[in-house]
Structure 1
Amino acid sequence: MTAPDRIYPTPVLWHLRQRHLLDAYLSAHGIDPAQVGATLAQLQAAPDGAAATDFCAQELADLQGLQLLGAVPPPSRSALLPFVFVKAVNLELTYSCNLACSHCLQDGLRPSGPALWPSISTLERVLEEAWLLGLTRTGVNITGGEIFLAGSPVLELLAAAAARGIPSRSNTNAWWGGRGPITIGAHHFSDDAAVVAALRQRNLGRLALSLDRRYLQYPDLLDRVIRVATLCERAQQPYEVVATEPDEATARLAEQKLNAALGHAPRHLRLTPMETVDIGAAAVQDGDSRTLDPAGIADLIHSSPCATSGFYRPYYLHIAPDGGLRSCLYAPAAGWLGNVQQQSLAALLNAAACNPVVQLFARGDFEAFIARTLTPWRHLYRDPHHGCAASALVARIAGEVERLECSSGREANERELEQLHRRFAAEYRFGVSSSC
């Protein structure tokens, strides 16, 4: 790494100092904080940076390698705020699933054939980086798709989280309830009770089960969920039911079945009511299949629960199966902040303030962007009726257009943009020819 004439603090350095994590971060990488901490503190307050000669050559190389110093001035302080708010990381291991629930947010992303899994070493590195950066205060959520399948690294990741004291949560559709033998990753279990015991051994903070429309499509699945919930109660394994608009009859039936199986009210259950996360279904209201109205998209985006702040001051970071990093749950398969398989988490955070999606949502002036990149292709989409659906679509367009134009060195042409829009309409299931 070539030493610059002047050096500047990075967003990561500012973040670590504000969180009082800099000394621990340096120590974890073999650097004595007493040697460089005071100089870094002075540099943080110097708007014009400092001479590179303030550090010895090896110190400078080490601190640049840790993404704490850079050769260019950082963005304004207001642009450095986003990751101070982050408190948890969501690891999406796959969009594959052994079910095919028609209402699933990831339905349009579900690949055919066996699941392909990210490497354990990459995911463990990302988990370590997130922990050292203080991004896992609430914990890590490990999810899919369905991740309780052969080849999945979920059990290794739960063990890695436990070793660092990171609270963990994981999701499953409970297909394995009442079955055996069961293979998860490279681990073989005689029955479902052994699976729950393995989760307990790895200090899983909470196992998330779902209560939604999938039981209408898979009637036997409710009994499997009740079986897993019963095993969690017996093992004192905390679990939760994420209720995504189930019909009242199914909800009552689930409660009755669980109470009957236990012989008493559940003691380790948490109920998490959840707004509909089905972006595809959010594109249609009362059977309405009108094409997208660009004039209302900006207002719809501002009406989302986060009011756009989830894109530039997120509480959670989400990592897609291919390593794509994003700041909104409701845009699966997106990776507008970069890719953790190609760069360190710290490097991606340093660049986030200059990211086109972050800047677009921080400014909030969507009209011109929508007119250029979405309006000419409005006929490919049904009209979204949910702020998250509109936000996810616009963010996905902004990220992919930027990637396309950076790689080609020119503006995207009409043919390229149409290909992107056809793909997004299919993936988010609100193309004009798709159905819910």
Structure 2
Amino acid sequence: MKSFEVNFDGLVGPTHNYGGLSFGNVASQSNSQQASNPREAALQGLEKMKALMDMGFVQGVLAPQERPDVAALRSLGFGGTDAQVIEKAAKEAMPLLVASCSASSMWVANAATVSPSADTADGRVHFTAANLNCKFHRSIEHPTTSRVLGAMFADPEHFAHHAALPAVAQFGDEGAANHTRFCRSYGEAGVEFFVYGRSAFDSRYPAPQKYPARQTLEASQAVARLHGLSDAGVVFAQQNPAVIDQGVFHNDVIAVGNGELLFHHQDAFLNTEHVLAELHGKLQARGAAFQSICVPRDQVAVEDAVRSYLFNSQLLSRADGSMLLIVPEECRSNTRVWQYLQSLTASGGPVREVKVFDLKQSMQNGGGPACLRLRVALKETELAAVNPGVIMTPALYGTLTRWVNTHYRDALRESDLADPQLLLECRTALDELTQILKLGAVYPFQIN
């Protein structure tokens, strides 16, 4: 039976703005208060989706969230009509309004952790929505994320959905941004690689001093249990606290993996030799030949990796066995990174080609190609059970492009978030989108 790794990319929402909300994310903070272009952001994301589809990869779409989140503002004491809630929040607590308008759900690598059926005890694909409780603007995402994923992967014979972990610091869960799967082929049992920043209950583990470690060991272990993963099929590794303090807020800013290959920076992990040895041993037991490409710090410094998002790239397997690396334009703009990439593709190793995409709108808010996609390994029968409305086709690309051009603004500043009309524009657009993607009622304004 054929199997596929499907990339479900997040569709950028109509309220895409630079609020500078993500402490520890250098790009997010450094571009705070600049004017954004939601239309351009959404079109840039769609162009990447179409390009991968045109290259023969199965590509899907994950819908954005309703913003501003009026219900979240009401829960914080703002009352009246929806327009009055927005007006009061803008007058009394503008940072809360900005947070409730964040389009951060576009980075669907944080939407959930996904385990393919070949790895799980019950033979189904398992999804656990990430609680994202480190940041308020992201912690309000998981209820809608769960409904959207449930509408996309609805067949209980093939798919199992778990609620987000308890929303407390000890179980901080940032989803697939700290999770990678290695395997010989997507339909065979693999090894799932969980990377955490700290332990919540064991003080012997070192922790960063400047920026928060968002993923805990305890959260990763809980997800592995929920998904029915065996000890032989998991490896837990700790991020290097020193790189977290340099802006590596998720593992996917310093490492990326696919198939049998891990592409990582020299300083990505603590106890690197032990981590690589465990991955090698467990993959070998599953018939896979693990390999790693370590990028030396004297060729690419951590600072260059963070600024270029070299590792926040998509590593894709081609039919001939070679791999393609999808990187943002910022990699080409960084001389040291680009020189490294040229030497990488010329080395005769598994990564044979690099393709560059302009994702400036997302990059300025701290999210690159890897942030924009949720990977789901599916067997042929499972892919057939996915809601067909969310699978990218030439016709869907055209429809979504027209939809964006119809409903999205071409400029958005913080002051614009106080306009009640923006909420109406967002709801009108999303109501139409649920019909386009055949999702049914997934948004609060459609349900309540």
- Shorter-chain TM-score range: under 0.3
Q: For CA contacts below 8 A with separation 6 or more, give which structure has more relative contact order.
A: 2
TM-score by length of 1: 0.27
Which is strand-richer, 1 or 2? 2
